[in-house]
Amino acid sequence: MISQAFDTPTRRANPLLVGFLILLGLALVAVLVGVGWTVIHRWTATPPTRPAGTTVTDGDLAFRVAYVDTTAISQGVAGERAPTGKFVNVRVSVTNRVGRPQHVDPADQFLRAGGKRYAVDHDATVNAGDTAALSLPGRPGAAGSLILVFDVPKRATSAAIEVHATASSGGARVTLPAFG
């Protein structure tokens, strides 16, 4: 029996193709890192704070604080909801800036007081006589308002509201008038 060894020809990779693929991979990594940094920065960035009475914009919506009330000791017709601290009721006027319907979710709005971030007290907001959300028609200038109720510590005397067009938007802050 005769055995023959065959040399299989080796094929070398084209150095230009290898170099191109390496550069393409590095460019893809750079883009992904840049996009990731932008997303993280947007979620953690602090929006600038504007003075009370100022109209601020976020996304396709414009927001203006219409009034602030801290005198309520309960919410609801029969006082169903009492605060653990004190209620801060904020009426926010919202205006659609674009030609498509908009939806404003109270859960996307926050109050900052004493270095802490407070979410809307959903039950107190509903008991205050407001709806759980606001829908605006799809035309520029369409407007409505929300009463947002926050339960903050009794010792809080000043705050800023952080309004958002959507849960993932950058938001805008408005300083509220001092309250006691």
* Rounded Cα gap, residues 37 and 46, in angstroms: 15
Is the Cβ–Cβ distance between 84 and 110 less than 8 Å?
A: no
Tokens of 127: 């008991």
Is the Cβ–Cβ distance between 129 and 147 less than 8 Å?
A: yes
Beta strand 61-69 with 116-119 is unpaired
Name the residue ranges covered by the structural domains of the chain: 14-45, 49-175
Is the Cβ–Cβ distance between 124 and 87 less than 8 Å?
A: yes
In this structure, CATH architecture of domain 49-175: Sandwich (2.60)
In this prediction the pTM is 0.70
Q: Which residues contact 72 (CB under 8 A, 6 or more apart)?
A: 87, 89, 128, 149
pLDDT band at 63 (very low <50, low <70, confident <90, very high): very high
Tokens of 96: 């659609």
- Which pLDDT score, from 0 to 100, does residue 41 have? 52
Tokens of 113: 């007081």
* Rounded Cα gap, residues 99 and 79, in angstroms: 40
- Which pLDDT score, from 0 to 100, does residue 54 have? 92
- Which pLDDT score, from 0 to 100, does residue 162 have? 96
What tens digit of pLDDT does each residue of 4-29 get?
A: 666 666 677 788 888 888 888 888 88
CA distances from 178 to 29, 58, 76, 89, 110 (A): 48, 24, 25, 13, 17
